[in-house]
Amino acid sequence: MEDLKPFLQQLAKDGPGAFEDDGIDEKMIRNHPTLRAFIDNAITIKEALFIERFLANNFNATEAATFAGYPNPSSSGYMLKKRKKCRLLIAERLTKLTMKADEVLARWKEMASATFDDFLHVYDDGEVRVDLSRAQKRGKMSLLKKIKKKKDGAFEIELIDQSKALDSIARHLNMFKSEMESAGDNATWNRIMAMSPDERDEEMHRLRMLEKDWREDPDAEDDEI
């Protein structure tokens, strides 16, 4: 998050092409709502910093306004929350975040209960063999930590620690493509990961309701600070 301001400054100065050597092209930048609005001059650098910090710090408007460098952070934060263009961007960011999280959590719920039964085939004579095609059909390959072929041609496997399955699946699905877009997402994601399953469901519901509220608030304003 601390690197976001210099990133935005360089983006304003040199344009999206400045980051191609880092593997970040204009399409990736435009896929990020806040950055797209910034390079299109729809929001200022302070507004961009506010939006991303607001998402990263559990919707604390005063702290986000302080981080962005606004005077009178309490009143500025309140006004920024009511600013229509900020609200719409926050809603879009929440939509993308919840869609990614939903995908990862759905995959996790399916995979976290995996057992060796997903990887083994027991023959009629009682012989047990690793069956990777079985695991592949069941969508369990991402739980393989290590696979080794023994001298007799059989395979030996080791599954990842299931407590790490959630993080593994998030990375497998490329949930966070670059540091450019991960600051607010990672902070929220880390909070979700630390929760119990019931708390996680409640938090996802809360985020979806927030997304709807941010998008539809009839009292949103366009006043400048």
pLDDT at 38 over 90: yes
pTM more than 0.75: no
Range of the domain at 13: 4-96+189-216
The conformation of residue 112, written as its DSSP 8-state character, comes to: T
Q: Is the dihedral of CA 77, 81, 84, 85 positive or negative?
A: positive
Report if residue 25 sits inside a domain.
yes
Report if residue 60 sits inside a domain.
yes
pLDDT at 63 over 90: yes
Report if residue 221 sits inside a domain.
no
How large is the average pLDDT for residues 75-98? 89
- pLDDT tens per residue, range 115-147: 778 888 888 887 888 888 888 887 777 777 788
Report if residue 141 sits inside a domain.
no
pLDDT at 35 over 80: yes
How large is the average pLDDT for residues 55-73? 92
207: pLDDT confidence band, cut at 50, 70 and 90? Answer: confident
Q: How far are the Cα atoms of 46, 165, 166, 180, 207 from residue 102, in angstroms, in the given order?
A: 30, 15, 12, 21, 11
Report if residue 211 sits inside a domain.
yes
pLDDT at 112 over 90: no
Q: How many domains is the chain partitioned into structurally?
A: 1
Report if residue 35 sits inside a domain.
yes
Q: Which two tokens mark 138? A: 């069941």
113: pLDDT confidence band, cut at 50, 70 and 90? Answer: low
Looking at 57-131, list the stretches that DSSP marks H as alpha helix, in order from N- to C-terminal side.
Answer: 61-68, 73-82, 84-111
Q: Which two tokens mark 27? A: 């399409």
pLDDT at 199 over 50: yes
Report if residue 16 sits inside a domain.
yes
pLDDT at 62 over 90: yes
Q: What is the pLDDT of residue 110?
A: 65
